[in-house]
Amino acid sequence: MKVSNFLVALAFLALASSFAIAYDPSPLQDFCVATDDASSGVLKAGDVFVFPFGLIHFQLNVGKNPAVAIAALNSQNPGVVTTANTVFGASPSINPDVLTRAFHLDKDLVTKLQRQEWMNPSDLNSYS
């Protein structure tokens, strides 16, 4: 019975999250939420990070050497996360230089998008 409970819990975790493993030092690991709370940190070689379900996240190499990261993603419905609201409407805001590189946009356009009023992604769930 205990083994079956463990397998069910493991399967749920696999469906409800994604993770990344750093093999070379210094990738910046960050995720943002639609509240005033954000988390970030620099991973060291061998670190493992599990992302909470449904949060937009990114990795950026802040080191001087090339970095290697292995990421595994899993979701039953990956189209549910509203990227624009979560990324450009994040509070605190994501550094415009990061968004400029990630989306290959002009910095002025990124700044304009960040100034725009965005609907809270949690409000969108009430319409479905």
Q: Do residues 57 and 93 make contact, with C-beta atoms less than 8 angstroms apart? A: no
Give CA–CA dist 28/75, Å, rounded.
Answer: 23
- Measured CA distances, 115 to 40, 80, 111 (Å): 22, 24, 6
What is the C-alpha to C-alpha distance for residues 113 and 5, in angstroms, rounded to an integer? Answer: 46
Place of tokens 């940190």: 41
104 is in an annotated binding site: no
Annotated binding site for Mn(2+): 57
Annotated binding site: 57
